[in-house]
A and B are shown apart, each in its own frame.
Chain A
C-alpha cells in the first residue's frame, strides 16, 4: 500500500515538473531581443549566435523548440555557459557538492537545535526556557542571513580567529556558513515543534497515556513526540528546499563556491544558460525533497499509509 501511495505522489509531481520546465523554457523567450543572442551572450560572435540558433532549433515552431529543450534536459545537456564556454552541466556539477554539503550541514544544525528547543519549550510551557528560547527563535526569524554571516565572521574569525572567514577548504570553513544558513530554519523548526507539541499534549490520548500510569518521560517520548513531529517533518523538508535557495546569500558572504554564487554571477553577467540550469536543478531537487518528506510522513502517520 505504501508503494501505491508513493506512485500517487510521483504522479502529482509530473504537472509541477512540467510547469517548471515550461517557465524556464519561457524565460529566454520573453526577454526582449533575439533568444539566440540572449543565450549566446553579449560578447558572442555572429557565428556563435547562428550555431546556438540551429542547436536549439530557435528558428523552428515553439512546440518543437520545447520538445527539443526537454530532450536536451534528459540527455543532460543544458547548453553552454556564455562566459566560460563550458557545458552548464559541468559548471553546476563542479559547484553542486558544495551547496549540498552546506545545505545538509545547515539542516542538521537546524533540526538538532530546533527540535530539541521546541520540545523542551513545549513541554515546559511558560517556563523561563520557553520564553528565552522563543525570543531567540524570533530573533533568528528576523535576522537577515547576510548580516548574521557578517557578524559571525566579525566575531569568530576577525576578532577571535577561531574559524576562517572565507573559502571552503576544510571542516572549519563549514562551521560559520552552516550556522548562518541554518539560523533561520532553526527558529522556524523550534517554533513549529513547540506549537505542535502544545497542541498534541492537550489531546485525549495523552490523557489516556497518563491515566495508564506512564511516567511523564514515556508520555512525552512515546506518545506525544511522534505525533508532534509529523507536521515538523514537513517543515524540515520545506526548509531543506528553502536552504538550497537561501544558500545564495550565505555563499556570497563566505565566498563559498556553491551554485548560489554561480547563479548570482550568472544573473549579473546575463549568462542565461547557467541561470536556466541552476534554477532547473534547484527546483527539481526541491520537488524531490518534498517527495521524500511525503514518504517519511506516511511512515510516521499510519492513517496516511493505509488510506
Chain B
C-alpha cells in the first residue's frame, strides 16, 4: 500500500461515513463550522446585510443632516464615531453606506456571472475557432492590470455610481469567463456529458442541465471572494472621486472627504476605511472557508 493509496482510502472512509450521516449540505456546514474563521466571516457578512437592509432603523441620526457648528466633532455618546467635515453623523453614514456597497457588490457580481459565465461555457463547449477568438478577447481584457480597465471604462462612460458599477462589473467578466471555461473543460471529458450526448440531448440542454450546475461550486467561491474585490474597487473609485456624487453616503467617498482632515480629525477617514476593511475581510474569510468546504481536494 502506498501512501497515496492509503490517504485515498482514508479519504473514502471519511467521506462515506460522513455523507451517510449528514448529507452533502450538512457536510459542507460541518466543515465550514470547523473553521472558526469562516464562521467569523459569515457573522460579518450577515451583519453587513442586516445593516444594509435595515439602515433606516439602525442609524441613530439622519445621514444627511449637517451642522457646520459641529463639524469634525470627535466621538461622543450621541455620535459614537464622531461627525464629518459637514457635521454629519459618521456612524449613520457608515450604516447607510453599507447599502451602496452591497448594491455595488451584487450588481458587479451579476454582470460578471451573467455575461462572463456564458461566454466561458460557450467558449469551452464549442472549442476550436470560437474558443480561440473568445480567449484572445479575454486575454486582451486581462492585459489591463487590476483597476486599470475599470478606470478606462469610467473615462469612457463618465463619472458616477452607475458607471462605477458597470465599469467594475465589466472588468470582472474575463475572470468569470476564464473560470467557467476551465471548469467546463475539465467536465467536458467526463462521462455524464458523453452519456447525455449519446441519448441525444441538445447542446443547450447539456450546457444548462449539466455543465453550468456542475461548475457552480468554484463560481460560488469566486463570487464570495469577488464581493470583496468589488467592494474594494468600488470604494477605491469612490475615493478617487469618480463614484457617487455628494452628498450620498458611500464609504470610499467618505474616506476621500476625511482624507483632507487627517491631521486634525483622524476619525473622519479612519472609521469608513475600517468598515471597508472589516466587510472585505468578512467576505474573504467566508470565501476561503467555502472553498475549503466545497473543494475536498484542498482539505487537510
Contacts and interface: CB of A to CB of B under 8 A. Distances in A.
Direct A–B contact in the complex, CB atoms closer than 8 angstroms: yes
Interface string B135-161: 011011001111110011011100100
A244 B266 CA distance: 29
Q: Is chain A's interface secondary structure helix, strand, loop, or mixed overall? A: helix
Interface in A156-187: 158
Interface in B119-173: 136-137, 139-140, 143-148, 151-152, 154-156, 159
A143 to B, nearest CB: 6
A259 to B, nearest CB: 11
Contact of A147 (B136, B148, B276, B281): B276
B235 to A, nearest CB: 6
A24 to B, nearest CB: 8
A19 B139 contact: yes
B240 A153 contact: no
A280 to B, nearest CB: 10
Contacts of B143: 16, 19-20, 283, 286-287
B263 interface: yes
A87 interface: no
A240 B197 CA distance: 44
Interface residues of B, number: 44
Contact of B259 (A141, A253, A263, A287): A253
A261 to B, nearest CB: 10
A19 B137 contact: yes
Given A27-B152, A139-B281, A267-B151, A146 B236 contact: yes
A264 interface: yes
A65 B291 CA distance: 49
B118 to A, nearest CB: 20
B266 A279 contact: no
A144 B235 contact: yes
B262 A245 contact: no
Q: Report, as a range, how many residues of chain A touch the other chain.
A: 35 or more
Contacts of B259: 146, 150, 253
B280 interface: yes
B262 A244 contact: no
Interface string B240-253: 11100000000010
B285 interface: yes
B270 interface: yes
Given A244-B146, A244-B148, 11 more contacts: A16-B140, A144-B239, A144-B255, A146-B239, A146-B255, A154-B262, A241-B146, A242-B146, A245-B146, A268-B241, A272-B155
Interface of A: 15-16, 19-20, 23, 27, 30-31, 125, 135, 138-139, 141-147, 150-151, 153-154, 158, 198, 207, 238, 241-246, 248-249, 252-253, 263-264, 266-268, 272, 275, 279, 282-283, 286-287
24 contacts: A15-B136, A15-B140, A16-B139, A16-B143, A19-B137, A138-B284, A144-B276, A146-B252, A146-B273, A150-B255, A153-B262, A154-B270, A243-B145, A245-B151, A246-B145, A264-B242, A267-B155, A268-B159, A275-B152, A275-B155, A279-B152, A282-B148, A283-B143, A283-B144
